[in-house]
Amino acid sequence: MREERISTIGVEKEVLVDLEEFISEVEKMAGRGARFVTASCRDLGEEGFEIIYHFDIDHKVENIRIKVPKGREVPSISPIFFPALLIENEIKDMFGVKFIGMAIDFDSKLLLHQEAPKIPLLKPSWDKEPAPERKIPPCREACPAGIDIPGYIRLIEEGKYKEAVELIRQQNPLVAISGRVCFAPCETKCRQTIEQSPLSIRLLKRYASDKAGFDLDKSKKPDTGKKVAIVGSGPAGLSCAFYLAKLGHQVVIFEALPKPGGMLRVGIPDYRLPQDILEAEIKTITDLGVEIRCNQKVESVDELFNQGFNAVFLALGAHQNVEMGIPGEDDEKVLNCVTMLRRVNLGEKVEVGEKVGVVGGGNSAIDAARVALRLGAKEVTIFYRRTRAEMPASPEEVEAALEEGIKIEFLCAPTKIERKGDKLAVTNIKMKLGEPDESGRRRPVPIEGSEYTVELDNLVIAIGQRPEVSEKLGVNIGRGNRIEADAMSMKTSRDGVFAGGDVRTGPASVVEAVADGRKAAIAIDKYLGGDGRLYVPEVPYPQQFVMRRDMKEARKQIPRVEVKKLDPKERVKNFNEVELGFTDEQSAQETKRCWRCDWNE
């Protein structure tokens, strides 16, 4: 991987490289007459470490950034830049990162771990103050796709909507979709949370997309003559297709279902993601020459290679409903969540009775309940075995369901389903919370003798999904029926075959699938002989520097803008989009709340 970053104030250029390419990049730097300034290191937790090497060429800073998985050794640059041995020894002492081939190894004689500074060393030698430099803010760090959030917020503030969308598309091509359905992990880390509620980062993304429309950049590199088959047209497949097509590769997506989009089409209901938005965003990808062949289930990777494809990306998602394994589950009045949502989203007629129960605590359970209401149910109750605090569903969705009159019964789970004439008699048992399980959440423990019966017309089982992967695909399959693939390169056990999205991670999110698709595009391009550098339009970043500490005080008191939604009593009668998006005034107020944590002054 080699990725060049936008130029920023104080930093002329920055390249991200894999460990394998790192030394050749350092040698190039030496060849250009660079002087080594220093390096900074950050512990990224499970992801490993990030080391940024700062060089000076004609009093301009250029960085080389690498990610180091925990336990991996880093080639020392001290044989090329002798002064680097000091900082390498410090990083070794502070973080435990091992360097190989160090010119001198001081063997823990520099900083002791306890003395480690809390901030990275980032000081150009010719200046008293560190130069103002753009850094990665907490929101961007929390985004699995690494979107430059303050960057696009600033572009929106300046009315540059298309530029804002193009900046987002450098990391995530599904802007309108993500602006509607992303779980927004960025918001949970937003610095505004220290003072009050976080920024509405997701809704600002939607606003930028609403303003920019779908007539976006269609530039691509000349045809490379290489063909890539993508199996699955969900967010992982679409993202991979977008970046590969821009690099000039010929891309065909094979989709088993009659319409493209994966769970965006057949999982997420229209009241959260209207189909015309989905269609329009998919068109921005097919406009690049990507072909989508629907109703084509791929059973064998060999067949794809025989058809002349040079690489394959498996983005199959997780579409198999997990069963409860209790008596009576096979009754025709017991519905499987994935099948029910798929049928509704594909326009089939699905009938439910007046009283519907839903088992589960995730987003699928909430969607199943809200859909049941829109199909005509009068009373919908979700049964969840833990408490609200442990519910994996996003809080906004839970709130929306409660507003619509859906009830949630916590600490209970069905143990038996019986048919009583036209009705279901569902026996539930009450639960209490025990010790935490491997997910970190407290385990629900049944309370003996606490069984009670509920009469329902239908019960929807929404306790999870798992991938459906045929052994004939010839790749290693691991726990939970997931395809085993490297988290950075998406490489599977089979040469030329890559896998990502829910089929690799298990059921996750749109933004994680998009990030996997992008990483796969980089790896596939390299596999096909390219350099893995994505072809995305440059977005001129507003260069005018604003002192963050001056504006922060003024900004932190502005309250979060609440977006207008359809009235709960009215909206349950149809599948119209519930959230209405920001007005110009609301967007202007919300963008003003951003502290611009991307400046390090």
Ligand X SMILES: Cc1cc2nc3c(=O)[nH]c(=O)nc-3n(C[C@H](O)[C@H](O)[C@H](O)COP(=O)(O)OP(=O)(O)OC[C@H]3O[C@@H](n4cnc5c(N)ncnc54)[C@H](O)[C@@H]3O)c2cc1C
Positions that interact with ligand SF4 (CB under 6 A): 137-139, 149-150, 190-192, 199, 201, 594-598
Other CB atoms within 10 A of residue 382 CB: 26
The helix (H) or strand (E) run that includes residue 154 is helix 149-157
The helix (H) or strand (E) run that includes residue 416 is strand 412-420
Which backbone phi and psi does 412 adopt, to 5 degrees? -155, 155
Q: Which of 150, 151, 235, 530 binds ligand X (CB under 6 A)?
A: 235
Q: Which of 133, 187, 502, 590 binds ligand X (CB under 6 A)?
A: 502
In the bound complex, what is the minimum distance in angstroms from residue 145's beta carbon to ligand X? Answer: 11
The helix (H) or strand (E) run that includes residue 193 is none
Structure tokens at 296: 């084509």
- How, if at all, do strands 379-383 and 407-409 pair? parallel
Q: Which does 68 bind (CB under 5 to 8 A by kind): ligand SF4, ligand X, none?
A: none
- Helices 363-374 and 395-403: crossing angle, nearest 10°? 20
CA-CA distance, 370 to 531, in Å (whole number)? Answer: 47
Q: Which of 94, 156, 513, 561 binds ligand X (CB under 6 A)?
A: 513
- Residue 85 engages ligand X in binding (rule: CB under 6 A): no
Interface stretch with ligand X, choices 74-82, 258-266, 325-333, 438-446 (CB under 6 A): 258-266
CA-CA distance, 226 to 527, in Å (whole number)? Answer: 11
Structure tokens at 488: 């950075």
Q: With contact defined as beta carbons under 8 Å apart, do 3 and 534 qualify?
A: yes
- Residue 257 engages ligand X in binding (rule: CB under 6 A): yes
Please report, as a single letter, which amino acid is at residue 542.
P
Q: Which of 179, 262, 357, 414 binds ligand X (CB under 6 A)?
A: 262
In the complex with ligand SF4, the residue whose CB is nearer, 137 or 500, is 137
Q: Which residues pair with 230 in a beta bridge?
A: 253, 313
Q: Which does 201 bind (CB under 5 to 8 A by kind): ligand X, ligand SF4, none?
A: ligand SF4
CA-CA distance, 119 to 115, in Å (whole number)? Answer: 12
Structure tokens at 103: 């010119």
Residue with tokens 């995305």: 536
In the complex with ligand SF4, the residue whose CB is nearer, 211 or 593, is 593
In the bound complex, what is the minimum distance in angstroms from residue 264's beta carbon to ligand SF4? Answer: 25
CA-CA distance, 240 to 504, in Å (whole number)? Answer: 14
Question: Which residue, 396, 271, 279, 382, is CA-closest to 337?
Answer: 382
Q: Which does 191 bind (CB under 5 to 8 A by kind): ligand X, ligand SF4, none?
A: ligand SF4
34: left (phi over 0), alpha (psi -120 to 50) or beta: beta
In the complex with ligand X, the residue whose CB is nearer, 38 or 458, is 458
CA-CA distance, 177 to 512, in Å (whole number)? Answer: 13
In the complex with ligand SF4, the residue whose CB is nearer, 74 or 539, is 539
Q: Which of 17, 176, 251, 268 binds ligand X (CB under 6 A)?
A: 268
- Residue 341 engages ligand X in binding (rule: CB under 6 A): yes
Q: With contact defined as beta carbons under 8 Å apart, do 297 and 400 qualify?
A: no
Structure tokens at 210: 């609403």
Interface stretch with ligand X, choices 347-355, 435-443, 508-516, 565-573 (CB under 6 A): 508-516
- Residue 315 engages ligand X in binding (rule: CB under 6 A): yes
Interface stretch with ligand X, choices 112-120, 443-451, 495-503, 526-534 (CB under 6 A): 495-503
The helix (H) or strand (E) run that includes residue 345 is helix 337-345
In the complex with ligand SF4, the residue whose CB is nearer, 204 or 314, is 204
In the bound complex, what is the minimum distance in angstroms from residue 412's beta carbon to ligand SF4? Answer: 38
Interface stretch with ligand X, choices 90-98, 111-119, 177-185, 286-294 (CB under 6 A): 177-185
CA-CA distance, 282 to 257, in Å (whole number)? Answer: 15
Residues 411-470 that bind ligand X (CB under 6 A): none
- Residue 237 engages ligand X in binding (rule: CB under 6 A): yes
Please report, as a single letter, which amino acid is at residue 310.
N
Interface stretch with ligand X, choices 146-154, 316-324, 373-381, 411-419 (CB under 6 A): 316-324
- Residue 317 engages ligand X in binding (rule: CB under 6 A): yes
Residues 354-413 that bind ligand X (CB under 6 A): 363-364, 367
Which residues, other chains included, contact 576 with Cβ-Cβ below 8 Å and sequence gap of 6+? 270, 271, 566
In the complex with ligand X, the residue whose CB is nearer, 15 or 380, is 380
Q: Please name the residue ranges forming H helices in 352-489.
A: 363-374, 395-403
- Count helices and strands in the chain by DSSP H and E runs: 20, 23
Q: What is the DSSP string of 175-223?
A: HHHHHHH---HHHHH-GGGGTSSPP-HHHHHHHHHHHH-S------PPP
- Residue 510 engages ligand X in binding (rule: CB under 6 A): yes
Q: Which of 267, 328, 353, 357 binds ligand X (CB under 6 A)?
A: 267
Q: Which of 76, 171, 192, 233 binds ligand X (CB under 6 A)?
A: 233
In the complex with ligand X, the residue whose CB is nearer, 39 or 264, is 264
Q: With contact defined as beta carbons under 8 Å apart, do 26 and 64 qualify?
A: yes
In the complex with ligand SF4, the residue whose CB is nearer, 67 or 552, is 552
In the bound complex, what is the minimum distance in angstroms from residue 198's beta carbon to ligand X? Answer: 17
Instruction: State the number of binding residues for ligand X (CB under 6 A).
Output: 38
- Residue 297 engages ligand X in binding (rule: CB under 6 A): yes
CA-CA distance, 201 to 192, in Å (whole number)? Answer: 11
In the bound complex, what is the minimum distance in angstroms from residue 509's beta carbon to ligand X? Answer: 3
Q: Which does 281 bind (CB under 5 to 8 A by kind): ligand X, ligand SF4, none?
A: none
Interface residue list for ligand X (CB under 6 A): 181-183, 231-237, 254-257, 262-264, 267-268, 297-298, 315-317, 319, 341, 363-364, 367, 501-503, 507-511, 513
